[in-house]
Structure 1
């Protein structure tokens, strides 16, 4: 990998210890930005994308914005979309004014027409990030993305958590759409260290999409709650992948995320 390539974790969740402030107890109770950056630094990872945990915090981005202000250039903030924002996309105006470019949407909120939302995000230079897991793929979320991307070619779609081989056939059908990108993340959800299957799935996705449309993400701290999860192994599964070229590894481990989440 080129020595000057910037390294980025494209998917994490952080929160301060504040018991009783969320709809469900956080697990772990406290996972601060300082804890996360320290863990990344152990592996030479320089920056991260902060993803709202909708089940805990809904659309409250206060802590994430505070983290980005505290560590400028090292943290990018993603926003969140619920049914209310699908119906009234202008509710996202304040987030966009604060520099949020990408917005996460869950499968449960994708079973209604999304064209008005997509048009709004395309005009705003935004990015739509559908949450894709094995269960959500079964629920039809992936099936809806291709036609949506066709109707809105100016809007980029970044799929959260590619789900390994479980989602591979559906993802392969999306590869011809140049505006669809993939987060290769949460390896422990479908593999175990040293993540040989996750590496092979990533290499296969690279052949289909190209490295410039793939980005690696840790999914910490959710990632760390399962015994099959190992941050170092997940990072080095791609960092040391001999079946990928230097430029491909550099793109997956930071270059692609930089163009989407750290454009300036």
Structure 2
């Protein structure tokens, strides 16, 4: 099974995508499975995981409703207010849906870089572990320290770093990021998504620009903890689905077939329980 572990779907008229503005012309429109299915067919992708793009429970419910009518969507990563008094009630309600897999707070947009360390989040993290749910970490390089500290508190947590923590590929200043990634990979059971790199590459979204980061992720996490994701349609800001899928195939070309198959889908299937 080949799996796209990370894509989005949205309907702008829903009104809760605060970050999605008309200046992002390439993606400022609705994106549905009718748009994605032909791209998946061309790339040989069997199943997908759709991930939240708005910090609302309503959008998670929209994604769950969409997934219920789409066999290709095998899992949904949603959003809850982790500090709300009813956070656990909301989490348990969403988890009743058979395709709900876990949550993703939009950490990159939170002003407090130490937010992950707040004690008020402890009950939800503990609940994720107890219920076998996942945590997608939408972080930037500066959040890797707090993420490591949080992971140490919950060694049973199933968590994955989205987009390799968005290294600064546009400037090439990735040495500190490389050290932090290596440390979190070595000291925790964290997984990582091979996704989102092209949109961090500035005016040169090429294989050469992203290769150092992609190869570092593969070396640190290995095929058992690294999974392919497209980040479509955000990907369209820098490239297109076919081109990104082709780049990943080039990056995996020297791996044994069984290891490449893990990155293409087996690791995502195992992590999300698809």
TM-score range normalised by the length of the shorter chain: 0.7 to 0.9
Contact map agreement 2:192 2:225 (CA 8 A) in 1: yes
Shift of 1:73: 5.0
| Structure 1 residues not aligned, in runs of 5+ | 1-5
> After alignment, is 46-55 or 162-171 more displaced?
162-171
Q: Which residue of 2 aligns with 1:41?
A: 41
User: Secondary structure of the residue that 2:192 maps to in structure 1?
Assistant: strand
Write the mapping of 1:108-257 to structure 2, written as runs, cut at 5 A: 108=110, 110=116, 112-113=118-119, 114-133=121-140, 137-138=141-142, 141-162=143-164, 163-164=166-167, 166=174, 167-191=177-201, 192-224=204-236, 226=237, 228-241=238-251, 242-257=253-268
Tell me the TM-score normalised to structure 1 length: 0.84
State the distance in 2 between where 1:207 and 1:23 align: 35
Q: Which residue of 2 aligns with 1:21?
A: 15
Q: Which residue of 2 aligns with 1:3?
A: none
State the distance in 2 between where 1:64 and 1:20 align: 12
Contact map agreement 2:230 2:241 (CA 8 A) in 1: yes
Contact map agreement 1:193 1:230 (CA 8 A) in 2: no
Q: Which residue of 2 aligns with 1:84?
A: 83
Contact map agreement 2:7 2:48 (CA 8 A) in 1: yes
Please provide the CA RMSD for this pair: 2.4
Q: Which residue of 2 aligns with 1:94?
A: 93
How many aligned residue pairs are there? 249
Tell me the TM-score normalised to structure 2 length: 0.81
State the distance in 2 between where 1:178 and 1:84 align: 25
Contact map agreement 1:159 1:182 (CA 8 A) in 2: yes
| Structure 2 residues not aligned, in runs of 5+ | 22-26
**What whole-Å deviation, never above 9, does each CA across 1:177-218 have from its counterpart, x for those lacking one?**
342011111121233454234344222222222211011111
User: Secondary structure of the residue that 2:5 maps to in structure 1?
Assistant: strand
> After alignment, is 77-86 or 94-103 more displaced?
77-86
State the distance in 2 between where 1:198 and 1:48 align: 23
State the distance in 2 between where 1:159 and 1:199 align: 18
- C-alpha distance 123-85 of structure 1, shift in aligned 2 (>3 A): farther
Q: Which residue of 1 aligns with 2:270?
A: 259
Asked if residue 61 in structure 1 is aligned to residue 55 in structure 2, the reply is no
> After alignment, is 38-47 or 115-124 more displaced?
38-47
User: Secondary structure of the residue that 1:240 maps to in structure 2?
Assistant: helix
State the distance in 1 between where 2:223 and 2:85 align: 31
User: Secondary structure of the residue that 1:64 maps to in structure 2?
Assistant: helix
State the distance in 1 between where 2:155 and 2:190 align: 9
